[in-house]
Amino acid sequence: MTVLIFLGSLLGAMALGIPIAYSLLVCGVALMWHLDLFDAQILAQNVINGADSFPLLAVPFFMLAGEIMNVGGLSRRIVKLAMTLVGHVRGGLGYVAILAAVLMAALSGSAVADTAALAALLLPMMVAAGHDKARSGGLLASAGIIAPIIPPSIGFVIFGVAANVSIGKLFLAGIVPGLLMGVAIAFTWWYVARKENVTPPPKATGAEKLKAFKDSTWALVLPVIVLVGLKFGVFTPTEAAVVAAVYALFVSTVIYREMQFRQIYGVFVTAAKTTAVIMFLVAAAMVSAWLITVANIPAQMIELLQPFMDSPTLLLIMIMLLVIAVGTAMDMTPTILIMTPVLMPVVKAAGIDPVYFGVLFIMNNAIGLVTPPVGTVLNVVAGVGKMKMDDVTRGVIPFMLAEFAVMFLLVLFPSIVLVPLRWLTN
């Protein structure tokens, strides 16, 4: 009955068009009434405690870093570097998009920001070169969602806080899966674009490659600083976010000089607005998370999934299928906040490594950003490219299937994640 009230109140509020953050509060109040625990003071206290978290400070700084990179020219230089390296091969613009997406993912950690920048810079070029617009939009959307997997990742920060899992280990564990996603998309692009009769741009000269590398060096140094700092314990993920934001601001204003001081206010406001939405979601979700624990819903979930508990692989497959279904109707952040408190006790009871599960869970949620009908990243590409949502959806399907294939490969072979993680953390 408790599970029914939890799901019924949450889904009912969302069906009425209530924003997800408020729907989570409605769900919390409904559970409080059912458990005869309603107290406005407890409700308010849990909302405040939900946002009062030092690791969550990484979210606004990574969001700020991403905004600064797009305005300050770091993203454009990354695309230029990718163009000189692989732009000349057959279907080269597609490989440029994938390589640029991987490099930009190591800078910001925001799928929406990276996809918007990639679509604005590369979609017109791909269409002008003769590539199918829907297929190009689908490629850019699928490449953009690598951002939540390769560190630094806002998704890993939110999951780490909600699940009480090391954010630093999540960052390091996401490197190989993120790169595998890039390889899978590249192979799929080769397959679907091989019949297109598109003349690639001329091959860049050695001097042009060297110039592009020099221009982008300051941008490429940032992920090195973050990863080396995390591996050797120089700073925490939260401090890494501050370093990323300050470094991006310095490079944009002093080195590249593409961001004027009058633009800084607008960049800060944009980052603050996005951060406010995420933080309110987190705060509201903490009410439901507390009540989920009080109502002993995790124990009910363990009992429900008991037939699969003896096989971690089968259990993970069932959980991944559940998350896929949820991802078609819900955005990434609320899915993490709603499902993490319910699933983590099940995962721990089955003896599954929490960091390994976190990588799979975030990867699944990232792919959910391109699964219709909600597909936040699909909407970004459609808006930037002035395309119909149906066209972008049609174009993204082969790339989305390739990313799901990588995810289930990691389910079947956990060592792909765990072996590099052990090496990086030793």
CA dist 422 and 110 (Å) reads 26
Cα–chain center distance at 62 = 12
What integer is the mean pLDDT of 331-358?
88
Instruction: Give the helix ranges, DSSP H, for 35-73.
Output: 40-51, 58-72
Contact between residue 297 and residue 6 where contact means Cβ atoms under 8 Å apart: yes
Amino acid of residue 154: I
Residue/partner pairs of 272-277 with CB below 8 Å, 24 or more apart: 272/60, 274/63, 275/59, 275/60, 275/63, 277/21
How does residue 342 score in pLDDT terms, banded at 50, 70 and 90?
confident
> Could you report the per-residue pLDDT of 139-168, keeping only the tens digit for each?
999 999 998 999 888 889 999 988 889 998
The percentage of residues in the chain with a pLDDT greater than 90, rounded to a whole number, is 23
Contact 335, 323 (CB under 8 A): yes
Give the pLDDT mean for 295-300.
70
Mean pLDDT for the stretch of residues 187-207 = 83
What's the pLDDT score for residue 357?
A: 96
Q: Measured between alpha carbons, how far is 68 from 65 in angstroms, rounded to an integer?
A: 5
Which DSSP string corresponds to 122-188?
HHHHHHHHT--HHHHHHHHHHHHTTTTTSSS-HHHHHHHHHHT--HHHHHHHTHHHHHHHHHHHHHH
Residue 144 CA to residue 423 CA, distance in Å, equals 27
Q: What pLDDT was estimated at residue 292? A: 72
The pair of three-digit structure tokens given for residue 172, joined into one six-digit string = 């390091």
Q: Return the percentage of the chain with pLDDT > 70, whole number.
A: 98
For 61-112, the pLDDT digits (tens) are 888 888 888 788 888 888 888 888 887 787 788 898 898 889 888 877 778 8
Q: What is the pLDDT of residue 3?
A: 67
- What are the CA-CA distances from residue 119 to residues 98, 270, 366 (Å)? 12, 19, 18
